[in-house]
Amino acid sequence: MDPVTATTVDGLNLFGMLGTVLWHALRIGAALQVMPMLGGRSLPARARLIVMLALAGALSPVLPTPPTAAVDAATVLSVMREFAVGVAMGLMLRIAFEAGQIAGELVSQGMALSFATLADPLSGASSPVLSQWFYLAFGLLFFAIDGHLALVQLLLDSYRHLPIGTALPDPAALASAVPTFFGTALRTGLLLALPVTMALLAVNLAFGVLSRAAAALNPIQIGIPVSLLVGLLLLGVLFRELQAPVQHLFDAAFDAARGVTG
């Protein structure tokens, strides 16, 4: 083989490899864009692009070969399908993090910290400080229980169950996956906040009774610092017991994400 022919063949192989990586980057990039901690506003755009291409390049050799791209309606539909599947899988994990946001919202109201807000990295809006605390706690537990490795396995399984170019599974099952898991996430957020919320409610009721019995006692000047101190102590106790329910929630999120691909 002469040098010109060899160079042409190598160039064609290189373009073929780039096309394969870009096909796989569609679903992977869409999933990472929706997910917290690894995508969205949590990381700069260049960092998200590097992570997406690196992950797609690492997984491409072990994934099924994608179809040959052409400028036609079938290719456009395949691209849209890949984006839809990736967003659906990432949305399940994002809903799991929203459970922590809900728990933080409920606890902050009892601790009189609902007015203390920070910029939310998920939506860009403002949210209570405790919501950000739960968000970071969920993120630390996500990496501590090897959630990032489970994410890679989820992406691998998605391509095996739903290769590029194949039709989506039953739309009814796909449409019911989000409401079903949303109920699970909402229930988990409420149960996480329930012990602290009930304890703070008891503290506020006690100071309300004391203020009625002794008019000289100011419930705002005394009750708010005590509620804040009790809430911080209870959060310290809650954090020690947070791993088991959060891990169960992430397991349910990954199961719901697998249900997207059938």
Span 205-229, pLDDT tens digits = 877 777 777 666 666 677 777 778 8
pLDDT band for position 4 (cuts 50, 70, 90): very low
Q: What would the two tokens of residue 126 be?
A: 């403002």
User: 117 by DSSP, 3-state: which?
Assistant: strand
The residue ranking higher by pLDDT, 227 or 14, is 227
Mean pLDDT of the chain: 78
DSSP lists the bridge partners of residue 127 as 118
Q: Which residue has the tokens 């063949």?
A: 9
Confidence (pLDDT) at 7? 38
Eight-class DSSP state of 40 = G
| DSSP-based three-state secondary structure for 101 | helix
Q: Is 205 exposed, middle or buried (0-12, 13-18, 19+ CB in 10 A)?
A: exposed
pLDDT, average across residues 231-244:
85
Of residues 86 and 204, more confidence is placed in: 86
What is the C-alpha to C-alpha distance for residues 157 and 155, in angstroms, rounded to an integer? 5
